[in-house]
Structure 1
Amino acid sequence: MLRFLARRFLLLIPVVLGVATLTFVLMHMAPGDPARTYLGDRATPAALAALRHQWGLDQPLWRQYLTFMGGLAVGNLGQSMFFHHSILTLLAIRLPPTLWLMGMATLFSIVISVPLATWMAVSRGGIVDAGVRSFNSIAQGTPLFFTGAVLIAIFSLHFRWFPVAGYGNDLSQHIASLVLPSISIALAIVPFLVRGLRGALMDALSSEYVSFAKAKGLGRRSIWINYALKNAAITGISILGIQVGYLAGGTLVVENVFAIPGMGTFLMSGILNRDFPVVQASALVFALLVIFVYLLTDIAYGLCDPRVRVK
């Protein structure tokens, strides 16, 4: 397992460097001038030149790239052009809401998917199976912002169970504020998980080891937990790991719909303000989050299936 983890960590290095380079190039190729965005259209050429010099934007592109990569190597992501604070300080404030949101969305997707997939596998070909498949089709084709707006209208404005927007001031308010955004993201992931788990459960129930367990006289509950669900979990882990990219992208939309001060709103503000350090740091953090979850997926897959560790 240690060799397995070491190989995975080594593979992270070129990915991080590639993401950092690509983000830097795309930001500097995009149209617009950060100095003019900050000072406004009536700024004088002298003021624009002074601000570009202060931010280092008048230097050659290769020198800006070396400065950026040199700071990244020592953990210095620079200072925001518009917030006038260290990027690391801003990340310490913005990252926790996004981590909570991703964690709760993952939890909700598992809690919803496992019972639905089990129910479909037991009653395959029946009304429940057809109904859940119809629900999956609708959920898969519904945009995240529309799902969030519907949940706000029902559970925030009508029933007043959850806040309309914001993040709250303490832990209980944080959790209450993230319930609806987490469900919005989870409902987009559930169709993929349910479809994969249903197929895996059906394969497991028709396998020889389940038939042997029945012949031994094991109870229905023991067969489901120790044989069917345990083997189907490998498929669920793989699908959940694949969907983590959508999970990270979903936070960009959902955080702006629910006004959550996380990485999604932080990245959007950086894009609108042409704040290079903010956009570069945000994109890098999102990439690291995806890579980290992929790593956790590999670890979980290796724990469930020892054959993976020798590859």
Structure 2
Amino acid sequence: MWGFLGRRVLHSIWVLAAIIIVSFLVIRLIPGDPVVQMLGLQATPENIAAVNEDLGLDLPMGQQITSFVQRAFQGDLGTSIIKRAPVNDIVFDRLLPSVYLLLYATVLALIISVPLGALSAIYRNRVPDQIVRLTSMVSFAMPQFWLGLMLILLFAIQLDVLPSGGYGEGFGGILLHLTLPALTIGLYLAPQLMRTLRSSLIEAIDSDYVEAARSRGYRESRVVGKLAMRNALVPLISVLSINIGFLISGTVIVEVVFQVPGLGALLVQSVLNRDYPVIQGLILVFGAMVILVNILADAAYAVVDPRVRAGMAAE
């Protein structure tokens, strides 16, 4: 297993290098001049040329990419064009709010999806199943920004029980302020987890080993709750790892709507300011997060499923 995970890590280095190069080229297509954005419209051509030289923006594209890749793998993401501060400091100052938001949203999604998915599977093709499936379809179809605004209107304005946004202090304050944005993301993720759990649990309930357990006289609650559910939960790991990219992109919208000072809000601000180094640093961090989650998912698969562990050992 460790050899397989080691190869995944080595492969991830090439993936990160590709992300850096592609993002570097795409970012240069953003209209506008970041130096003019920094200096203002009254800047003289001489001032613009001097700043371009100072920032290395006058170098050939290939040389800029090579320099950035070398510095990135040394842990240096460069200097912000607008703030004139290290990108590392700017990004990592905003990292924790986004990580907390993603973790909170995932926990809420699991709290919602696991019992409802199990209920839907146990009562398949009956009224509870139909209600759960219809509700999940409606939740998944709603745009995140609209759902976020509706949650603000209901819980922050009408009921006045939760803050409409921002970021609190201390564990309780952070939890309180991130509840609505986490719920917005969680309600998008939960239907996918719910449908996956329903399908896998139905398959487990109909399997031969569950029928064998029933024939031995085990109670239905024990058969479904322990034996079938344990195997049905494994596919959720795959769904979570696949959706991490979508969750990260969702945080961009949600952080703007709820004014959470995280990486998503920083990305929007940096794009508007044409702050190339910060955008590149954020894309690299997002890519690293997706890769890390997928490697952890592979490790989790090996822990919970002996067949996967045996397959990794054979490779």
Q: TM-score, normalised by structure 2?
A: 0.95
Q: Which residue of 1 aligns with 2:299?
A: 299
Q: Which residue of 2 aligns with 1:103?
A: 103
Q: Which residue of 1 aligns with 2:3?
A: 3
CA shift, 1:306, in A, is 2.3
Counterparts of 1:92 and 1:216, CA distance in 2: 56
Q: SS where residue 28 of structure 2 aligns?
A: helix
CA shift, 1:150, in A, is 0.7
CA shift, 1:237, in A, is 1.4
CA shift, 1:83, in A, is 1.8
CA shift, 1:221, in A, is 3.1
Counterparts of 1:159 and 1:172, CA distance in 2: 20
The residue type equivalent to 1:242 in the other structure is I
Q: SS where residue 114 of structure 1 aligns?
A: helix
2:101–2:182 contact (8 Å) kept in structure 1: yes
Q: Identify which range, 17-26 or 57-66, moves more after superposition.
A: 57-66
Q: Which residue of 2 aligns with 1:183?
A: 183
CA shift, 1:298, in A, is 1.1
Q: Which residue of 1 aligns with 2:93?
A: 93
The residue type equivalent to 2:27 in the other structure is M
1:236-256 residue CA offsets vs partner (Å, 9 max, x unmatched): 111122111111111111001
CA shift, 1:294, in A, is 1.0
CA shift, 1:268, in A, is 0.9
Q: Which residue of 2 aligns with 1:209?
A: 209
2:270–2:276 contact (8 Å) kept in structure 1: yes
The residue type equivalent to 2:154 in the other structure is I
The residue type equivalent to 1:87 in the other structure is V
Q: Identify which range, 39-48 or 100-109, moves more after superposition.
A: 39-48
1:229-286 residue CA offsets vs partner (Å, 9 max, x unmatched): 1110112111122111111111111001100010001111111111111000001101
Q: Which residue of 2 aligns with 1:157?
A: 157
Q: Which residue of 2 aligns with 1:79?
A: 79
The residue type equivalent to 1:202 in the other structure is I
CA shift, 1:153, in A, is 0.7
Q: SS where residue 89 of structure 1 aligns?
A: helix
Q: SS where residue 71 of structure 2 aligns?
A: helix
Q: TM-score, normalised by structure 1?
A: 0.96
CA shift, 1:42, in A, is 2.5
Q: Identify which range, 110-119 or 240-249, moves more after superposition.
A: 240-249
Task: Trace 1:25-64 onto structure 2 (pairs within 5 A).
Answer: 25-64=25-64
Counterparts of 1:298 and 1:161, CA distance in 2: 40
1:16-75 residue CA offsets vs partner (Å, 9 max, x unmatched): 111111111111233221111122222221221122122111111122112211211211
CA shift, 1:171, in A, is 2.1
The residue type equivalent to 2:293 in the other structure is V
Question: How many pairs align?
Answer: 311
1:132-156 residue CA offsets vs partner (Å, 9 max, x unmatched): 1111111111111011101111111
Q: SS where residue 260 of structure 1 aligns?
A: coil
Counterparts of 1:287 and 1:215, CA distance in 2: 49
Counterparts of 1:39 and 1:180, CA distance in 2: 38
The residue type equivalent to 1:89 in the other structure is D
CA shift, 1:114, in A, is 0.5
Counterparts of 1:219 and 1:178, CA distance in 2: 41
Counterparts of 2:169 and 2:51, CA distance in 1: 37
Counterparts of 1:155 and 1:248, CA distance in 2: 24
1:174-227 residue CA offsets vs partner (Å, 9 max, x unmatched): 111111111101111111111111011111111111111112222333212321
